[in-house]
Amino acid sequence: MKKVAVILAGCGVYDGAEINEVVLTLLHLSKAGAQYQAFAPDIEQLHVINHLTGEEVEQSRNVLQEAARIVRGDIKAVTELNPDEFDALIVPGGFGAAKNLSDFALKGVEAKVQTDVLAACQGFAKANKAAGYMCIAPAMVPLIYGPGVIATIGNDEGTAQAITQLGATHQTCTVDDIVVDETHKLVTTPAYMLAQDLAQAETGIAKLVKQVLNMAI
């Protein structure tokens, strides 16, 4: 049975992990007979957004505690993630990937990945283990894999240009498809960068999970 680590960025599309992307990922892993363990950085969120109004509110929330909401409390700090214990890694999107897992939302081409998250993700990269990143999370891959890594965030010109400047080779991709970098064993899909509904997001995520599991040795 293949074991997959899943790194989450909080809870909620605008300030954390995109909940639908996470649930669809875990659903397809489960249906494929794979084991998974969720992780998240034990840090404060960049900010908190009222998802009803879209406005920032004066609150402080912890990324790990918020992410625990999605996985019924079955989650560990990302510092506990040992790539040697897993066959593959998947990182769902949501703005939290660009606000909490990295600072891409703030700094663009000057972005850095959060220290503990970077160590975990690079562990999989250095071991040449399969990984999947979706939605805005692929903005981190050039900082993890280095120049020349192939990835997609869909077709948003500005974001594609930014991750190209960071060193990635961007490929335009439709919502229902994936981009595979065979050399790095990396799979990416646009998900809610393009999806207009749950069904559209599900198609690409299902393909990503299947491909990651196929590439996992």
Residues designated catalytic: 135
Rounded Cα distance, 136 and 101, in Å:
11
Rounded Cα distance, 50 and 65, in Å:
17
CB hemisphere CA count around 155 (13 angstroms)? 7
Rounded Cα distance, 78 and 63, in Å:
11
